[in-house]
Structure 1
Amino acid sequence: MDTAVEEPQPDEFICPICLELLYKPLVLPCGHAGCFWCIHNAMQGLSFSTCPICRQKYNVCPSVCSPFYYYLKTMYPKTFAQREADIKKEEKDMREQSSPSPTMPEGFDPSSPASLFKCEGCHKFAENPGVPACGHLLCDECCVLEKCVVCSLKITYIPNVCASLRDHIHDNYAGLCSSGPLSSSGGGEVRDKFFKVEGPGVKIQMIGDTTARVEIDEENFLHFHLGCDMCGMFPLRGAVYQCLDCPEKVGYDLCSTCYELQKDVNTGKFNQTHTKDHKMVKRPFNVTKHHLILANNP
């Protein structure tokens, strides 16, 4: 007699882009989640990107949420294994590297998947979890701090509650929640309105009918198609530092804040072989046709 327990369907953890089980999930500022490659490929290198579900604007490529990743791997092992095999084949065909596989969260007990929903900062049960750009799963109180209490990376936006995780937690672990089960389900709860539209960091002043003078605002200069390999800002704005020694085609770049505050070597969004001995230099402010078009059409 077959006594194997049938694997549940991961209907609430389906990527809105590929419509498959989330693999290496990224949680956007609005609280909706998608696969690493799906989100990365859908982002705009010239301006703000928009969530495929709610259309809220964002300009950061988050890191993979480790507790979310291991929860999916634990609860849906067969589906997860097939997704992993499919993605690895696609990466091999594309000759691309994905982000590093997340490290297993400290104190995780495979026999108790709910342990993955403890705030990685204060270790309280995060019944309404938020995930900032660094990828750590945090509770309400830790989400609103200036820096992540786990990695000290600056929290550049207050993340909305991750809707799919919140609903799943309240439906399946209501006994651990102070508020009990939810009466209804919806999108991410809006904690804050954060992103504002800014120009390309270039001003054009006409001199006569045919001559123009271009002025560069270095603090707000937009570097199209470049993203920070620590905080995930994309596209980058202001001073940008690039590694001269990383051999990968994708390169390795940091925004000015991460360049000044970095204390540990970060492998980057695409598993680059960056080390502390590598030389980093400030990128030049190269004005392109995209800057001129945006400056003329604010």
Structure 2
Amino acid sequence: MSASRAHGVADKQCPVCRELCVKPAALPCGHVACLWCTHCSMSSLGESTCALCRNEFTALPALSRALENHHMWCDPRAFCERLKEARKEDVERGHKSPKFEVCVVAAAANDDARSKLISFDASVVGVVDDDRDMADVVLKALEETECGGMFEEMRMFDASAGEGVAAFHACCCPSRTEVVSCGELASRPVVCQQCGTLYERAHADALTAKAGEGNEWCFCGGTRPPTRVIFSLKEDIESAYPKDFVDASRKRCDQALAECLVALEREAELKANVEGDVDDVDAKDETVSTSTHIDVGGARTLVFDHETFTHFGVGCDFCGVYPIVGPRYQCAECKDSEFMGFDLCAKCMQNVFEHPERKRDYRFAQNHTDAHEMVLVRPRPTMVHVMKSLHPELSANQIIQWLDNQATASREAEAEAAEDEAQAAEADASESDEPEEGDMTEDEHQ
């Protein structure tokens, strides 16, 4: 391992399982954890929290290919050994997660960006269908003298020379040609929460500013803002590349952001001058949605509507929101064939209809296709939903705690009643064995 890659694995450990992250997912706060560890630690009732900073989030982040490739680049042997262990654990637990893929970025060939990008050999990994097989291929290549095949380019790549950028360290935002990526060094790395694509923070800010708050800014259709800067990756990049190389890239990215903001300000001023004041028009929503009704006694009926219903324990397999709030669509074909099933929220369902050409990576590598039938799931209220409707001031966790306390108290009362009944039966039995007054004992009879 070269000096530029001599980064320890301590800062790449999952804060939940304390193992090397081989399926890394970046949380909104910028901390990194295993995809499955993040999923298992999330709350099915609402907001979840980061294991390190306790920052709240509501969606399962996507696996980041850039982080995955970076972790392998830092220590291929440790990464592959852990990858084989993780795959074995998945099989034993019945889990399924996306397999390792090479992060490839097509850079713009212009003077403003770094056009020389180095990557692993994707053709080698492309023929391997299992992570364990891929790990064996890599470990075998590491044992060879020339370390050929998949690692040949990466073995020769020296980031400290400042002559190129590793593909998994490059910003993937569209360049001015809108055909290929800019290829700048993501020295302040952030990722899209929906697809895990890596961006330079300045370019991500420019994209979100152009799109406007709540609109699509990533090519995957993601609308949630990018994560905060991933400091573990930022520190590795700063230690691997020359300082002047990093500073020059940051200067170009900051300049692009400044130009974008100025252009947006001019566009807003021009639009305001042309349109002037526009009266607001009230629009009535005539959408008809089915709902579920529950009688709770007397004349009171609770109504659970699609638009506001929370599907506890069910997440969207595209954007990762967990639990789904609002309409939930379930695949009729994947319901039984996939171990996790397949569900989409209303927003992602609309995205499928409007953009069928987009590549979509699902959270648990389901074999779902757009040709499958998606069915709208009616609200299925639980006791938590009923109690929440009757007592909106209580949170779902408070209701769960109250129900647990009630169940515990009921079990204790039943146990006490059973004990009292057993003691009463024992007392009756002992009384029946004693002779009544006037009865002769066996000796007296003789």
Aligned match for 1:228, one of 292, 312, 316: 316
* Number of the residue aligned with 1:185: none
Distance in 2 separating the partners of 1:4 and 1:178? 23
Q: Percent identity?
A: 27
Count residues in correspondence. Answer: 274
Q: Indicate whether 1:89 and 2:183 are aligned.
A: no
Question: Secondary structure at 2:330's aligned position in 1?
Answer: strand
**CA deviation map 1:149-176 (0-9, x unaligned):** 442x222234211121122222332343
Per the normalisation by structure 2, the TM-score is 0.56
* Number of the residue aligned with 1:154: 222
In structure 2, relative to structure 1, the CA distance for the partners of 1:42 and 1:288 (3 Å cut) is: same
Give the CA deviation at 1:82.
Answer: 1.1
Distance in 1 separating the partners of 2:322 and 2:87? 25
**CA deviation map 1:66-114 (0-9, x unaligned):** 1110111122111101111111111111122112433432354322564
In structure 2, relative to structure 1, the CA distance for the partners of 1:4 and 1:238 (3 Å cut) is: closer
Letter aligned with residue 29 of structure 2: C
Distance in 1 separating the partners of 2:25 and 2:313? 19
RMSD: 3.0
Aligned match for 2:246, one of 177, 202, 206: 177
Q: Indicate whether 1:287 and 2:381 are aligned.
A: yes
Distance in 1 separating the partners of 2:58 and 2:312? 12
* Number of the residue aligned with 2:72: 73
Give the CA deviation at 1:267.
Answer: 5.1
CA contact 1:14–1:22 (8 Å) conserved in 2: yes
More displaced 10-residue stretch of structure 1: 120-129 or 228-237 = 120-129
CA contact 2:184–2:249 (8 Å) conserved in 1: no
* Number of the residue aligned with 1:117: 169
Structural mapping, 1:38-53, within 5 Å: 38-53=37-52
Q: Indicate whether 1:268 and 2:362 are aligned.
A: yes
| Structure 2 unaligned regions, length at least 5 | 106-116, 120-153, 160-164, 174-181, 209-214, 251-290, 396-446
* Number of the residue aligned with 2:341: 251
CA contact 1:267–1:274 (8 Å) conserved in 2: no
In structure 2, relative to structure 1, the CA distance for the partners of 1:284 and 1:227 (3 Å cut) is: same
In structure 2, relative to structure 1, the CA distance for the partners of 1:179 and 1:46 (3 Å cut) is: farther
CA contact 2:22–2:34 (8 Å) conserved in 1: yes
Distance in 1 separating the partners of 2:379 and 2:359? 26
* Number of the residue aligned with 1:195: none
Aligned match for 2:307, one of 215, 219, 226: 219
Letter aligned with residue 59 of structure 1: T
Question: Secondary structure at 2:190's aligned position in 1?
Answer: coil
CA contact 2:23–2:68 (8 Å) conserved in 1: yes
Question: Whose radius of gyration is greater, 1 or 2?
Answer: 2
Aligned match for 2:187, one of 103, 127, 130: 127
Question: Secondary structure at 1:290's aligned position in 2?
Answer: helix
Q: Indicate whether 1:167 and 2:235 are aligned.
A: yes
Per the normalisation by structure 1, the TM-score is 0.82
Distance in 2 separating the partners of 1:231 and 1:286? 22
Question: Secondary structure at 1:39's aligned position in 2?
Answer: helix
Give the CA deviation at 1:273.
Answer: 1.2
CA contact 1:64–1:102 (8 Å) conserved in 2: no
Q: Which has the higher contact order (CA 8 A, sep 6+)?
A: 1
Give the CA deviation at 1:25.
Answer: 0.5
Give the CA deviation at 1:29.
Answer: 0.6
**CA deviation map 1:6-29 (0-9, x unaligned):** 965322212111112111100001
Structural mapping, 1:90-109, within 5 Å: 90-106=89-105, 107-109=117-119
In structure 2, relative to structure 1, the CA distance for the partners of 1:205 and 1:279 (3 Å cut) is: closer
Distance in 1 separating the partners of 2:376 and 2:204? 31
